[in-house]
Homo-oligomer: A and B are copies of this chain.
Amino acid sequence: MFEYAFSPRYLEVDQQGVVFNMWYLGYFDDAMAAFLAHLGHPYPQLLLDGDDVMLVRSELDWTAGVRFGDAAVVAVSVEAIGTTSFTLRFEVRRGIEVTCRGRTVYVMIGTDGSGKRPVPAELRKALSARLAT
């Protein structure tokens, strides 16, 4: 499974001593971009091709907080692929401990404001090969 390594920044940690909740959506975004690049479809290239992604739904379940300086990863897997959308699953792991689970539904859109469009064939193929079973 693809893993995006990161370490929480000091600026992300709040008075409770753990990362403030919103930064997890930032981690998922970073992990998504790294995952697409890993698949050979870097996000900046998608944009150049006139394709973009828009979030329509995100879910997050936390079981523990992560702290400044922790060594952590976001594991990324593909949950579903539709005609114009795909769904990624995320797990934040610190060692063997899963501290947060998330999933996000992305809709493919044109950068020209033309709205929804099919997931490009090559990207679909790459995502399909990673479908969680």
Chain A residues with a Cβ under 8 A of chain B: 9-11, 13-17, 20-26, 29-30, 33, 42-44, 52, 54-63, 68-69
Contact = CB atoms under 8 A, between A and B. Distances in A.
Contact of A17 (B15, B30, B60): B15
A29 B33 contact: no
A20 B42 CA distance: 19
Contacts of A22: 11, 22-26, 29
Contacts of A13: 14-15
B62 A55 contact: yes
Question: Nearest 10 pairs between A and B by C-beta?
Answer: A22-B25, A22-B22, A58-B60, A22-B26, A11-B20, A21-B55, A59-B59, A57-B61, A11-B26, A21-B25
A44 B14 CA distance: 14
Contacts of A52: 16
Contact of A10 (B9, B17, B33): B33
A57 B60 contact: yes
A114 to B, nearest CB: 14
A21 B29 contact: yes
A14 B11 contact: yes
A44 B26 contact: no
A13 to B, nearest CB: 5
